[in-house]
Amino acid sequence: MADDLQLIEAFDSRVKRRAERREFFKLAVAAAAVGATTLLVSQEAFAQTVTDADILNFALNLEYLEAQFYAYAAGGAGLPAALLGTSPGAVTATNARRVDGLDADPVVRDYAREIAADEVAHVTFLRAQLGASAVVQPAIDISATATSAFSNAARAAGLIGAGATFDPYSSPENFLLGAFIFEDVGVTAYKGAVPLILNKTYVEAAAGIMAVEAYHAAIVRTALYAKGVATPSLRTSADAISNARDSLDGTTDLDQGISPVTINGGPASNIAPLDADGLAFARSTGQVLNIVYLTNTAVSLGGFFPAGVNGNVKTSAAN
């Protein structure tokens, strides 16, 4: 009986710390109660207006971005031209380089190498699956300047002030924070996209990539959490990035930071960002673009994609 009570307390505590996530489900239930099926209809309507190729191409745009960033961070150079398509957009990579001091932190170094290789494999795989339908790489900004997308994202999170530069290549810790901007977004993007895909082969492929992105996100979150034991500001910085993402993609809380929480009366990590039912969050394509465009308005370019993404899905949501 004591063990049962302890287990119940653990579940209750986990639910309490995510109580605010219930609001989304309450709203959905309320809508159903008055006969509204807006959410379902909207999803079905979206699925009918785009093809499986459109969805995979949307994912390919994100993979180009991640692969370029990790390739520079781990190896000092971007993707080979053969993976970019004919007449691709330019990569603005001012001051992009192999992360300073990376060899002095072999754990992060090895993580960076693994993730970089995985992201290159994702680009290669998606391009092969899409064949002639694959979009070329769009223009991408992975610079480290005062006006770069990384700096604007860090500024929105309150990590730096006006005119300052956030350089994700300046240290293993800054690299992890730069990676944190992307990784949770990638997981939620695939979670939102998989149900829209009709072809079972493509569903399996997207689910496989989503699982890898979830592993990557866990690596980054775990590394930041561990380093945050000695340097708590790393955790608060990651929390600030999480809050900034949530400020862009609408009123529903689809994000969580990494600061310790309390479970069963004791401290616990928050490596897996989940809703009250223990499920990963999902974002629509518009919400994903809100974050990578760094805006809460409906636009077709900005942030890490100065000329927008390529393909038929390219507009962020109006939040």
In Å, how far are 105, 172, 193, 309 from 227, measured between CA atoms?
A: 11, 10, 33, 34
pLDDT above 50 (res 122): yes
Question: What pLDDT band is residue 48 in, cutting at 50, 70 and 90?
Answer: low
Digit-coded pLDDT (tens) for 64-112: 999 999 999 999 999 999 999 999 999 999 999 999 999 999 999 999 9
Mean pLDDT of 142-148: 98
Give the pLDDT score at 146.
98
pLDDT above 90 (res 22): no
Digit-coded pLDDT (tens) for 236-275: 999 999 999 999 988 888 888 999 888 899 989 989 988 8
Give the pLDDT score at 24.
37
HSE of 144, CA atoms in CB hemisphere, 13 A: 18
Give the pLDDT score at 30.
42
pLDDT above 50 (res 14): no
Q: Considering Cα of 108, then 190, then 83, then 92, what sign does the dihedral take?
A: negative
Where helices occur in 232-308 by DSSP H, the ranges are 232-248, 285-293
Helix axes 106-130, 52-75, angle to 10 degrees: 150
pTM of the model: 0.84
Give the pLDDT score at 73.
98
The pair of three-digit structure tokens given for residue 45, joined into one six-digit string: 């309507």
DSSP 305: B
Type of residue at 250: G
Segment of 15-19, 38-42, 205-209, 301-305 carrying the highest mean pLDDT: 301-305
Average pLDDT value over all residues in the chain: 87
Give the pLDDT score at 34.
37
Mean pLDDT of 24-41: 38
More confident residue, 24 or 137: 137
pLDDT above 80 (res 13): no
Helix (H, G, I), strand (E, B) or coil at 109: helix
Give the span between the Cα atoms of 308 and 89, in whole angstroms. 10
Q: What percent of the chain has pLDDT over 90?
A: 76
Closest Cα to residue 289, out of 270, 303, 276? Answer: 303
More confident residue, 276 or 109: 109
In Å, how far are 50, 81, 86, 191 from 132, measured between CA atoms?
A: 17, 16, 11, 26
DSSP 141: E
Question: What pLDDT band is residue 17 in, cutting at 50, 70 and 90?
Answer: very low
Longest CA span, the chain: 67
Give the pLDDT score at 12.
46
Give the pLDDT score at 56.
96
- Those residues with Cβ within 8 angstroms of residue 46's Cβ, 6 or more apart along the chain or in another chain: 196, 284
Give the pLDDT score at 35.
36
pLDDT above 90 (res 211): yes
Q: What percent of the chain has pLDDT over 70?
A: 85
